[in-house]
């Protein structure tokens, strides 16, 4: 069934309920959102001549048009390609060409950057500048009926963030995203019709995917005026909007809880913060729980199994009487509904409890493959299982602890060192704001451990103290042999630390 139905059905149930808001102002009811998307869908088909299955790309920051375009494209039988608004023009060009996108919606901030891209993406027939007369004219005709979409038709082409190599387009079908929506309700959170999602994180990624369960329930989507993540603005919006949910990258969550005076604010409107997409360290989880209370849910997913591999529930976060509570807080929780999770060794056999191997996933949420990339598809989808490239271990209760991407593993003197374990220890130091550990080539040991440390402002951190902390908590061979101090860590738009850039600093 077409995902467009989610909006249509919510509009039928509650046409006057707020659907889209800019800051604190409601700009469209569900009736209006559905009607505008149905008219835009007609415009895409008749004015632009798009056909069933064509790809509609978005190069836009968060805005109220985002949801309108997504639902219009689905309504018209097309698929969407939301792109990270911070990409370089060359990266946009590469993705548009690789996907063979037929139409592109671009906002004014990116219009200049993308003006010359047409030549590099020959399939691109239309570039529509958001808010322009040509954009407005697409709404002028009557609404069209939604196109039929098969469960396995492409709905969302999700390009991986490409922290290594070229990004790959994970093909997500209507079925995959329905399965993600169902798992949200089963494992992440309930949503009431008077709740809302505040899109402070990019809508091209997790926050945008999570608009689906919210639209399914007829909840409002709130777009911050800044179009992105501004911690102070988030707090203002929390003060205004009851039943608020955010999806945040861990680095955003840790910035939010550092806003001076946050402890004194009334956070009664804040319902849930779902975090994920990158490691969240135990110390940071504890700090966030102390400030925000039982409002945290963690998810682990990847573009290839969107938002839906495991979840660490709200209850698991606060169940501090449990003997393994500490270990659970460093885990990513248990398999979400409809998803099977295994940890496998190099031969593809199940690793034993506690043993580290590659995380493999099966279920309705798993992508059909990578767009026009049979080789990468065959490499990651084997015997019906998605091989995630993430290393982890399952405990006896099915809680998964992620170690690191296999490529981030450090092998020193023949021993495996998981950077995450070392980072967790370094973060125990009061003066450490952020820590990231990588391997540096070494003539004798193969690699040696190097830690990049961002100290808190005005907090001197001495190497000897960090070394002692490591000696107190982990095996000697795992401790960093060199420290580098930085004022910030390189991160991509989704808050993921770019270890490739850190390694490059060592060359």
Query: Residue 8 or residue 365: which is nearer to ligand AMP going by CB?
Result: 365
Q: How far is the CB of 318 from ligand AMP (least distance, A)?
A: 18
Closer to ligand AMP by Cβ: residue 3 or 332: 332
Nearest residue to 138 (alpha-carbon basis) of 148, 146, 124, 127:
127
Q: What is the rounded CA–CA span in Å between residue 288 and residue 282?
A: 10
Query: Taking a C-beta distance cutoff of 8 angstroms, is the pair 80, 70 a contact?
Result: yes
Q: Residue 41 or residue 391: which is nearer to ligand AMP going by CB?
A: 391
Side-chain-side CA neighbours of 364 within 13 Å: the count stands at 15
Where does 213-280 show beta strands of DSSP type E?
A: 220-223, 244-248, 270-276
Residue 296 · residue 328 · CB < 8 Å: no
> Token pair of 449, please?
């451990």
- Neighbouring CB atoms inside 10 A of 389's CB total 15
Chain length of the chain: 507
Q: How far is the CB of 306 from ligand AMP (least distance, A)?
A: 8
Q: Which of 30, 5, 336 is nearest to 184 (CA)?
A: 336
Q: Which is nearer to ligand AMP, 390 or 440 (CB)?
A: 390
Minimum CB separation of residue 135 from ligand AMP in Å reads 29
Least gap, CB of 160 to ligand AMP (angstroms): 5
CB neighbour list of residue 156: distance below 8 Å, 6 or more residues apart:
79, 80, 81, 82, 172, 177, 209, 306
Q: Provide, rounded to whole angstroms, the least separation between the CB of residue 228 and ligand AMP.
A: 17
Instruction: Supply the minimum distance, in Å, between the C-beta of residue 81 and ligand AMP.
Output: 15
CB closer to ligand AMP, 228 vs 495:
495
Q: Which is nearer to ligand AMP, 50 or 307 (CB)?
A: 307
- Shortest distance, position 301 Cβ to ligand AMP, whole Å: 6
CB of 299 to ligand AMP, least distance (A): 6
Q: Which is nearer to ligand AMP, 130 or 332 (CB)?
A: 332
DSSP-derived secondary structure letter, 348: S
Nearer to ligand AMP, 125 or 314 (CB): 314
Q: How far is the CB of 309 from ligand AMP (least distance, A)?
A: 8
User: DSSP class of residue 491?
Assistant: B
Instruction: List residues binding ligand AMP (CB under 6 A).
Output: 160-161, 276-279, 298, 300-303, 332, 388, 390, 402, 405
Neighbour-count burial of 405, counting CB atoms closer than 10 A to its CB (0-12 exposed, 13-18 middle, 19+ buried): middle
Beta bridge mates, 300: 310
**C-beta of 162 vs 348, nearer to ligand AMP:** 162
Q: How far is the CB of 111 from ligand AMP (least distance, A)?
A: 26
What six digits make up the tokens of 30? Answer: 């569900």
The full DSSP string for 64-121 is: HHHHHHHHHHHHTT-EEEEE-TT--HHHHHHHHHHHT-SEEEE-HHHHHHHTTGGGG-
Smaller CB separation from ligand AMP, 18 or 303: 303
Q: Is-contact 159 303, C-beta < 8 A?
A: yes
**CA 406/CA 388 separation, integer angstroms:** 10
- Cβ partners under 8 Å of residue 315, min gap 6: none
């Amino acid at each position: 069934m077409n995902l467009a139905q989610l909006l249509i059905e919510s509009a039928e149930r509650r046409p006057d309920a707020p659907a889209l808001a800019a800051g604190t102002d409601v700009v469209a009811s569900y009736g209006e959102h559905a009607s505008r998307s149905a008219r835009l869908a007609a415009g895409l088909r008749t004015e632009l001549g798009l056909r069933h299955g064509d790809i509609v790309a978005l190069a836009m920051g968060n805005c109220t048009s985002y949801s309108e375009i997504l639902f219009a494209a689905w309504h018209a039988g097309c698929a969407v390609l939301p792109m990270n608004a911070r990409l370089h023009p060359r990266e946009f060009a590469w993705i548009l060409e690789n996907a063979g996108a037929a139409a592109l919606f671009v906002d004014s901030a990116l219009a200049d950057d993308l003006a010359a891209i047409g030549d590099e993406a020959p399939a691109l027939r239309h570039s529509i500048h958001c808010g322009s007369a040509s954009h407005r004219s697409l709404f002028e005709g009557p609404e069209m009926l939604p196109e039929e979409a098969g469960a396995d038709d492409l709905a969302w082409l999700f390009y991986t963030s490409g922290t290594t190599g070229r990004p790959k387009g994970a093909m997500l079908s209507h079925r995959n995203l329905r399965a993600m929506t169902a798992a949200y309700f089963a494992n992440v959170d309930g949503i009431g019709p008077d709740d809302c999602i505040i899109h402070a994180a990019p809508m091209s990624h997790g926050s945008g995917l999570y608009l689906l369960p919210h639209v399914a329930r007829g909840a409002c989507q709130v777009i911050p005026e800044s179009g992105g993540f501004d911690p102070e603005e988030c707090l203002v919006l929390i003060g205004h909007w009851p039943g608020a949910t955010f999806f945040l990258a861990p680095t955003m969550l840790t910035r939010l809880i550092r806003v001076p005076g946050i402890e004194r604010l009334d956070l009664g409107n804040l319902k849930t913060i779902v975090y994920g997409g990158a490691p969240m360290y135990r110390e940071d989880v504890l700090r966030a729980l102390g400030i925000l209370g039982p409002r945290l849910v963690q998810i682990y997913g990847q573009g290839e199994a969107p938002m839906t591999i495991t979840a660490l529930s709200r209850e698991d976060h606060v169940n501090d009487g449990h003997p393994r509570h500490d270990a659970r807080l460093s885990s990513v929780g248990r398999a979400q509904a409809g998803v099977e999770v295994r940890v496998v060794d190099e031969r593809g056999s199940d690793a034993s409890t506690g043993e580290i191997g590659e995380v493999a996933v099966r279920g309705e949420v798993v992508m059909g493959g990578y767009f026009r990339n049979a080789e990468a598809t065959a490499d990651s989808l084997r015997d019906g299982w998605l091989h995630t490239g993430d290393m982890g271990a399952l405990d006896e209760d099915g809680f998964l602890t992620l170690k690191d991407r296999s490529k981030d593993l450090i092998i020193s003197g023949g021993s495996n060192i998981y950077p995450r374990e070392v980072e967790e220890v370094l973060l125990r130091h009061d003066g450490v704001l952020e820590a990231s550990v990588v391997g540096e080539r070494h003539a004798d040991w193969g690699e040696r451990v190097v830690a990049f440390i961002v100290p808190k402002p005005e907090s001197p951190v001495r190497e000897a103290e960090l070394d002692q902390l490591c000696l107190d908590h982990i095996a000697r061979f795992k401790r960093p042999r060199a420290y580098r101090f930085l004022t910030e860590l390189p991160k991509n738009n989704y808050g993921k630390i770019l270890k490739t850039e850190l390694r490059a600093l060592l060359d």
